[in-house]
Amino acid sequence: MKLWPTKLRLRLPRRSEPRRLFGRYADLVPPTEMMFDGPVGYDLFKENGEEFLEHYVKLGGLEPDERMLDLGSGIGRKTLPLVSYLSRSGSYEAWIS
Ligand SMILES: C[S@@+](CC[C@H](N)C(=O)[O-])C[C@H]1O[C@@H](n2cnc3c(N)ncnc32)[C@H](O)[C@@H]1O
């Protein structure tokens, strides 16, 4: 017995994973088919961004009220943790080629 149409059944995990991992930012995360410039997968996308935020803060001393210019941001792998970290008086701008 078929409970759901095949297409719907295949789509559900892909739609729910970004929501689980990124919450209100989920719609800003590209689908895995568009992750062309680094590791592919939602977990990896999130881990990579968080790892680099730690570098910016611990090694670079980035403060929440500072301004970040991201030249060559690609698909925004570093973007979501950064905008979550930065305060309203800080800012993030990206240059996308
Ligand atoms: C190795 S990827 C890194 C992407 C992203 N910063 C990250 O960490 O996931 C380098 C990115 O820089 C972009 N890029 C390379 N040359 C550029 C240029 N002259 N102007 C703007 N972007 C450039 C590429 O398109 C690519 O998306």
pLDDT at 18: 92
Residue pLDDT, tens place only, 54-66 = 999 999 999 999 9
92 Cβ contact partners less than 8 Å away, ≥ 6 residues apart: 67, 68, 70, 79, 82, 83, 86
- Of the given ranges (4-13, 51-60, 68-77, 79-88), which has the lowest mean pLDDT? 4-13
In testing the pocket of ligand 1, which one of 29, 34, 37, 93 has its CB within 8 Å of the most ligand atoms? 37
Residues touching ligand 1 (Cβ under 6 Å) are 37-38, 72-74, 77-78, 95, 97
Q: Residue 86 above 70 pLDDT? A: yes
Instruction: Please state, in angstroms and rounded to a whole number, the distance separating the CA atoms of residues 9 and 14.
Output: 10
Domain boundaries, the chain: 21-28+39-95
Expressed in angstroms and rounded, the spacing between residue 19 Cα and the centre of ligand 1 is 26
